[in-house]
A = this chain, B = another copy of it.
Amino acid sequence: MSRALGIDPGSRATGFGVVDLTGNRLVHVACGAIHTPSRASAPERLAIIYRGLLDVIERHRPEEVGVESIFQARNARSALVLGQARGVALLSVELARLPIVEYTPMQVKLAVVGYGRAEKGQVQEMVRRLLALPEAAGPDASDALAVAICHLQTSRTARAVRERGAALVRPPGPR
């Protein structure tokens, strides 16, 4: 079994999703969003995100973490604000000594929906189906779950290639 945490960082809401891969089965463990009050200052918001993510890591003990890599910001100002939240998310994972892998939005969509240009609603619905959730998670939690699923599927494929590769190059004769 491997357990992955996906994070969707944002200044107002940072989504998180924890998913297990047991054999070939994806199992939902937890998901949600860390909301920050709109009247809070930027440093206060960042501390809320930091403490919230440390709490999620402490509570669910993921082994690995996935986060979306490239962001199409509307402008430099919103990229700066998103970057601040993202920096704090990366920091909390690093301080917890967990490996972190970045995925492009296209990789995430490809892994979850099988189509790199899928709409947000399609991703949300596929996440719900893959994890057999009774109803779709909120948008931030759903995006985070999608990153966790992408991470688990990508590392499963990589492991299979590694193992098959190892089997192929194993020298003949008695072990």
Contacts and interface: CB of A to CB of B under 8 A. Distances in A.
Interface of A: 41-44, 46-47, 50, 71-73, 75-77, 79-88, 90-91, 93-95, 100
A80 B44 CA distance: 19
> Oligomeric state, in number of copies?
2
B83 A79 contact: yes
A101 to B, nearest CB: 10
Given A86-B87, A91-B91, 11 more contacts: A43-B93, A46-B94, A72-B76, A79-B79, A80-B82, A81-B83, A82-B83, A83-B86, A84-B86, A84-B90, A87-B87
Q: Quick one: which of A41, A47, A71, A83 has the most chain B CB within 10 A?
A: A83
A75 to B, nearest CB: 7
A13 to B, nearest CB: 15
Given A43-B100, A100-B43, A86 B80 contact: yes
Nearest to A42: B90
Q: Quick one: which of A41, A42, A71 has the most chain B CB within 10 A?
A: A42
A11 to B, nearest CB: 9
A174 B41 CA distance: 42
A57 B6 CA distance: 32
A165 to B, nearest CB: 25
A46 B76 contact: no
